[in-house]
Amino acid sequence: MKRLTLLRHAQAEDKFLGQRDWDRPLTKRGILDATEMAQRLKAKRLKPELILSSPAVRTQQTSSIFAEHLSGSQIETLEELYLATCSQLFKTVQSQNKFNHLLIVGHNPGLTELADLISDQYRIDGMPTASIVTMKLNIDSWQALTPATGINVEFDYPQK
């Protein structure tokens, strides 16, 4: 049995003239929301062994907040997660082999599309900032991941 948790980065500052999208940091609200959501995940006793993160500043900050609250979670930064499509995210998950619980911190629309693809229970129309979708997968290896294999799907977000 595997578990996949998808996390959209927390709220980021608006892009200012000349700034790369990649460099946008979290807002104060984003930091508070990420902290709250990390605490909720911890309260459910869900502790990913590996956090895969986009290299964007906002995802790195979000990942760090989660790693701090879920002590023991290792962070790995993958450039291909920056604005990754559903297909890219799916392949990234399938390429894993060592861990039973993965947390991917990334961007929309790819994360929402991946959640919809893997969930066998319901459609998620959009993941707001700092939202989490977590699900169990009745598979023995990540390579066996296929669409609609996610069960016991939970969707949580700061204003819920």
Share above pLDDT 90 across residues of the chain, in percent, rounded to a whole number:
85
Q: Is residue 116 part of a domain?
A: yes
Class of residue 28 by CB neighbours under 10 A (exposed 0-12, middle 13-18, buried 19+): exposed
Q: Is residue 17 part of a domain?
A: no
**Residue 98 C-beta-side C-alpha neighbours within 13 Å:** 6
Q: Is residue 20 part of a domain?
A: no
pLDDT at 6 over 90: yes
Q: Is residue 19 part of a domain?
A: no
Tell me the mean pLDDT in the region 94-102.
93
Q: Is residue 42 part of a domain?
A: yes
Domain span at residue 112?
Answer: 2-12+25-156
Mean pLDDT over the full length of the chain: 94
Banded pLDDT at 15 (limits 50, 70, 90): confident
Q: Is residue 129 part of a domain?
A: yes
Banded pLDDT at 62 (limits 50, 70, 90): very high
Place of tokens 């906002």: 58
Phi, psi of 157 (to 5 degrees): -150, 160
Q: Are 34 and 131 in contact (CB under 8 A)?
A: no
Q: Is residue 59 part of a domain?
A: yes
pLDDT at 72 over 80: no
Banded pLDDT at 18 (limits 50, 70, 90): confident
Place of tokens 């964007």: 56
Q: Are 104 and 52 in contact (CB under 8 A)?
A: yes
pLDDT of residue 125: 85
Q: Structural domain tally of the chain?
A: 1
Q: What is the pLDDT of residues 73-87, one digit of tens each?
A: 899 999 999 999 999
* CATH code of the domain containing 121: 3.40.50.1240
160 is written with which tokens?
């819920």
